[in-house]
Structure 1
Amino acid sequence: MGEQVDGEQETGRAVLGRTLRYLRGNAGKSLGQLAEETGYDKSYLSRLEKGERLSKMTVMEDLDGYYKADDLLVSHWRAARLDAFKDQYKRFMRLESTARVMWKFTPAVPGLLQTEDFAREVLSGAQTTADGEDLVEERVAARVGRQYLLRQSPKPDVRIIVDECAFRRRAARAKTWTDQLLHLEAVGMWPNMALQVLPFSAGVHHHMTGSLTLLWQKDGSAVAYREGNGCSELVEDPDEVLRLRLSYDRLRDLALSPSDSLTFIRDELKEHES
């Protein structure tokens, strides 16, 4: 694109911004023209081009279509969103994006299944800085953007166990929680998804303080990722991965079946709406 870039220093977001500027210049458009023809705010587009803001993936899909760039911007966006995560989590996300089989346990609604409004409420918290709102929106975009991997081809085979406590800590806004439950119900019927609820009646268990993810690649290799109490760990040792798989098996034995879990979610939805 005619610019010399220090690849070791330039962030994914900067690369995306540079690509956006190049495509607009190549199309002979001003920011004002681009805003008028795409419907996006001029200042918003300017911040994207400067690498000051991470958009939602749908914005990049729209601009790819506008510039007839295939999925160039979407592919750059997928790299740029990693800027919002810590290094160890970036490696996990790369493995997650290529996994053919994925098992998860979470004590809360998992990020992969959160609606945008629910994710925003979870990530908001107390903001004490002027750029707090932008930071939240960037993290929401990064979180929701991860969900594309559930729709990629070939679709991974996914099993997610969610602790019942996730359903007892509802969103503050009634509509947000209704939409979240409806989304979980819909996801639970996907052919590549087994969604299970771990009820309180199962009693205490060994993953109450955090989440666990197990990933298998096409070649059969497996890793595990644990999060909890403010720390995280990517586990690659085969013996430790096997131990964690067996611990997951025990949780699965205690959880409701996928069909009973759907009934649980629907009952929760009826109770909430009433």
Structure 2
Amino acid sequence: MNDGVDEAGWDVEPGDEIEPVVQAVGRLLKVCREGAGMRASDFGEVMGYGEDMIRKMERGTRIPRPEFLDRADQILNAQGHLREFMEEMRKARYPKKVRELAEMEGRAVEMLLYSSHNIHGLLQTPEYMTALYEVRQPPLAQDVVEREVAARMARKSVFERDPAPSLSFVQEQVTLERPIGGKMVLCRQLGHLLEVGKLRNVSLQVMPTDREEHAGMHGLIEVLKFADGTAIGRSEGAFNGRPVSSPRDLRILELRYGMIRAQALTPRESLAFIEQALGRL
């Protein structure tokens, strides 16, 4: 029998605003189970999980996977009531900070994104994402890795928006050369960058390592601009790493980002650089 550590779902973060919804789904699950005349242990056996995991989901401390609700709806003859919450539970499984970031990215009309250590999350392939999380120390549990990768993949919907936002990326050269996950993973990652870099709404630039002048020594910079004229930004080396929204603070980040773009290779030169890097693998 599966203990549910990896497959059943994810723990609810204390204080998360999604907690009441998860608890409501748990209560509904319990009502449906009891209405079907099944004990928690019997239901767990049919579903392939232990009684303890079923109890956790019914108490609302564990987020059930959408696939779990789909099968439970069938087993318990819930007439679609459990299935109605599949999409909400799909969103709930992502960490709160990721949901908040995805919401902002979903509203942004322009994004300025500079990455110095890793390829930016919006540009990563699933294999590259997984490799990044698997090399973290101390090691992350496998279900945590899966949850983080799924959350990051969900953010890629920004590329499917219509009208499409304007996306500007600047990547340090080293992020294109470090073989995170091995050469094959990097090879597929660079190929993906070439595809994304050719999109009409995307500007992808590379900052060469041999640049003597570099405005990005403070580390990561992200600025998201919205249709109402407001914006939010952050930088690892400014404002203690906290998000900022005041015009003065945003101007500092935009000034630095503008200088980084000017110092980097042009988009055309950058795609050629990535093609060359790919050819060397």
- Do they superpose with TM above 0.5? yes
Instruction: Select 1:124's aligned residue among 122, 125, 134.
Output: 134
2:238 equivalent to 1:225: no
Task: Give the letter for the 2:131 counterpart.
Answer: E
Give, in angstroms, the shift of residue 12 of structure 1.
2.6
Flag the 1:232–1:201 CA change in 2: closer, same or farther, 3 A.
same
Give, in angstroms, the shift of residue 169 of structure 1.
1.5
Contact residue 214 and residue 223 of structure 1 kept, 8 A: yes
Contact residue 100 and residue 217 of structure 1 kept, 8 A: yes
Percent identity between matched residues is 25
1:44-76 deviations in Å (ceiling 9; x for gaps): 997988664686xx979x99xx96999964455
Aligned counterpart, 1:198: 207
Aligned counterpart, 2:18: 12
Structure 1: give runs of 5+ residues left out of the alignment.
1-7
Give, in angstroms, the shift of residue 13 of structure 1.
6.6
Aligned counterpart, 2:260: 251
Give, in angstroms, the shift of residue 93 of structure 1.
4.4
Q: Which range moved further: 17-26 or 141-150?
A: 17-26
Distance 1:137 1:54 in 2: 14
Structure 2: give runs of 5+ residues left out of the alignment.
1-13, 75-79
2:222 equivalent to 1:216: no
Q: Secondary structure at the match of 1:102?
A: strand
Aligned counterpart, 1:109: 119
Contact residue 13 and residue 77 of structure 1 kept, 8 A: no
Distance 1:21 1:269 in 2: 52
Give, in angstroms, the shift of residue 21 of structure 1.
8.6
Distance 1:180 1:134 in 2: 23
Instruction: Select 2:94's aligned residue among 74, 81, 90.
Output: 81
Flag the 1:201–1:128 CA change in 2: closer, same or farther, 3 A.
closer
Flag the 1:25–1:177 CA change in 2: closer, same or farther, 3 A.
farther
Contact residue 162 and residue 198 of structure 1 kept, 8 A: yes
Contact residue 128 and residue 181 of structure 2 kept, 8 A: no
Flag the 1:126–1:155 CA change in 2: closer, same or farther, 3 A.
closer
Flag the 1:127–1:227 CA change in 2: closer, same or farther, 3 A.
closer
Distance 2:248 2:94 in 1: 32
Contact residue 110 and residue 225 of structure 2 kept, 8 A: yes
Distance 1:202 1:178 in 2: 25
Contact residue 199 and residue 255 of structure 1 kept, 8 A: yes
Backbone CA RMSD of aligned residues: 4.0
State TM-score, norm by structure 1: 0.72
Distance 2:16 2:107 in 1: 25
The 5 Å alignment of 1:17-28 reads 19=25
Contact residue 235 and residue 253 of structure 2 kept, 8 A: no
Task: Give the letter for the 1:258 counterpart.
Answer: P
What is the aligned length? 250
Distance 2:276 2:146 in 1: 32
Contact residue 223 and residue 234 of structure 2 kept, 8 A: yes
Flag the 1:22–1:236 CA change in 2: closer, same or farther, 3 A.
same
Task: Give the letter for the 2:194 counterpart.
Answer: E
Distance 1:183 1:54 in 2: 32
